[in-house]
């Protein structure tokens, strides 16, 4: 395989995302203050002691944002993992075998995509019960299955009858081996951009859901942003720092997706 070069978008995206990931890891091990404890004066403006200032209860916002990134990122990753694994499996089976199962599942898929993703997430979570963090992950995960299924189905269906698959079949490879060893690696070109888009949608969806306070996740970026709205006049730095971190997370991964696409176009 020839070495493919980095382009500007990819580099910038990796830098931003890498930096944020480092911050998240740092936050998981150590935060300057406890994210929930009273640490000083309330509504303190950003300073060396409190990088992002403090909120109404005198909590250090920088520490809160670090913890919040951890919560939001872990939920988004778990969500995308569910969506990608189940979606790819569904896409592989329907695209490769076709037939009645394909028709039925794709009809169901069309019906599910009729719901805006937030609406579907709200529907699923009100069915599962909104109290618990794992229900939120499950609800968001289910929401992301159809889009992954659709993307991978097209890829699997288009590769089904190419020559190297036929020859693998003639050499006696079973369906499972063909799917996993021969087809799956070749869907990377559509799967990676889909993963970046899916991850961004997951971050935004998690932030929206916790912004709406459906699930009480007090250390999530969305929840903190909804807290920050109430004190915008007194502590605008709370909303600005929280909102910018969400935007930067999505921006960084969006640039990676853009970079991957550009690289594919050049290749």
Distance of closest approach, residue 54 Cβ to other proteins, in angstroms:
19
Integer Cα distance of 231 and 40 in angstroms: 17
Looking at beta carbons only, is 11 or 173 nearer to other proteins? 11
Q: Which residues bind other proteins (CB under 8 A)?
A: 8-9, 12, 107, 110-111, 113-119, 122-123, 125-127, 130, 200, 204, 207-208, 211-212, 214, 225-226, 228-229, 232-233, 236, 239, 243, 246-251, 254-255, 258
**Which residue in this structure is represented by tokens 């007194």?**
234
Distance of closest approach, residue 232 Cβ to other proteins, in angstroms:
5
Distance of closest approach, residue 240 Cβ to other proteins, in angstroms:
8
Distance of closest approach, residue 128 Cβ to other proteins, in angstroms:
8
Distance of closest approach, residue 183 Cβ to other proteins, in angstroms:
24
Cα separation values, 73 from 57, 80, 180, 194, Å:
25, 10, 28, 17
Integer Cα distance of 63 and 30 in angstroms: 9
Looking at beta carbons only, is 35 or 257 nearer to other proteins? 257
- Which two structure tokens, joined as six digits, stand for 27? 């936050």
Looking at beta carbons only, is 5 or 107 nearer to other proteins? 107
Q: Is 164 helix (H, G, I), strand (E, B) or coil?
A: helix
Looking at beta carbons only, is 84 or 245 nearer to other proteins? 245
Looking at beta carbons only, is 179 or 202 nearer to other proteins? 202
Sequence-distant (≥ 6) Cβ neighbours of residue 111 within 8 angstroms: none
Q: Is 130 exposed, middle or buried (0-12, 13-18, 19+ CB in 10 A)?
A: middle
């Amino acid at each position: 395989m020839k070495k493919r070069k980095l382009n500007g978008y990819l580099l910038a995206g990796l830098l931003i995302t890498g930096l944020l990931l480092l911050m998240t890891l740092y936050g998981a091990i150590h935060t300057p203050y406890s994210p929930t404890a009273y640490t000083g004066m309330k509504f303190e403006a950003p300073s060396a002691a409190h990088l992002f200032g403090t909120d109404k209860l005198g909590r250090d916002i920088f520490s809160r944002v670090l913890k919040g990134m951890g919560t939001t990122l872990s939920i988004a990753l778990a969500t995308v993992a569910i969506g990608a694994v189940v979606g790819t499996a569904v896409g592989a089976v329907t695209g490769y075998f076709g037939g009645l199962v394909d028709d039925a599942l794709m009809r169901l898929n069309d019906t599910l995509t009729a719901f805006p993703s937030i609406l579907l997430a709200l529907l699923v979570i009100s069915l599962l019960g909104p109290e618990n963090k794992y229900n939120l992950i499950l609800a968001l995960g289910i929401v992301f299955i159809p889009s992954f299924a659709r993307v991978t189905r097209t890829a699997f269906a288009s590769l089904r009858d190419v020559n190297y698959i036929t020859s693998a079949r003639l050499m006696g490879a079973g369906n499972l081996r063909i799917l996993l060893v021969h087809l799956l690696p070749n869907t990377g070109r559509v799967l990676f951009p889909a993963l970046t888009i899916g991850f961004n949608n997951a971050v935004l969806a998690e932030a929206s859901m916790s912004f709406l306070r459906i699930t009480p996740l007090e250390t999530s970026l969305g929840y903190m942003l909804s807290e920050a709205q109430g004190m915008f006049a007194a502590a605008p730095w709370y909303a600005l720092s929280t909102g910018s971190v969400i935007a930067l997370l999505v921006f960084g991964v969006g640039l990676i997706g853009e970079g991957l696409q550009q690289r594919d176009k050049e290749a």
